[in-house]
Structure 1
Amino acid sequence: MGRGDIKTKKGKIFSKSFGKVRPARTRKSAAAAAPKAENKA
């Protein structure tokens, strides 16, 4: 259980991967901007 364990959060940070334990950060600015542009048009 450490940096070598890919199933843990610390292991995912070390291997630079994402999954259920370490979800990828979603972009709120891009998702929030799209509906506003449709409403104005």
Structure 2
Amino acid sequence: MGRGDKKSKKGKITKGSYGNARNRKAIKAKLKRTASKKTAAPADGATKQKRTIKKKAEA
């Protein structure tokens, strides 16, 4: 099951075809969801803060 296999998802991506392993409707719906998440900005303008990990003090 690899890139040459027409029945697997990886093989369908390589061949550029669609089917049960790579459903066109599901792909389009997923792309639409991710695009809407990227364009939606927070209302209050707040941005995510990076979490920092504090190192333990050496004993």
TM-score scaled to structure 1, two decimals? 0.58
| 1:2-38 deviation line (CA, Å, top 9, x unaligned) | 000000000000000000110013477xxxxxxxxxx
The structure, 1 or 2, with the larger RCO (C-alpha pairs under 8 Å, 6+ apart) is: 1
Q: Separation in 1 of the partners of 2:11 and 2:3?
A: 4
Write the letter of the residue equivalent to 1:20: N
Q: Which residue of 2 aligns with 1:23?
A: 23
Aligned pairs, how many?
A: 28
For the residue of structure 2 that corresponds to 1:10, the secondary structure is helix
Q: Give the helix-richer structure, 1 or 2.
A: 1
CA RMSD of aligned residues (A): 1.5
Identical positions, percent: 54
Gaps of 5+ in 1: 29-41
The answer to whether residue 6 in structure 2 is matched with residue 9 in structure 1 is no
Runs of 4+ aligned structure 1 residues displaced above 6 Å come to: none
TM-score between both structures, scaled by the size of structure 2: 0.41
Q: Answer with 1 or 2: which has the greater Rg.
A: 2
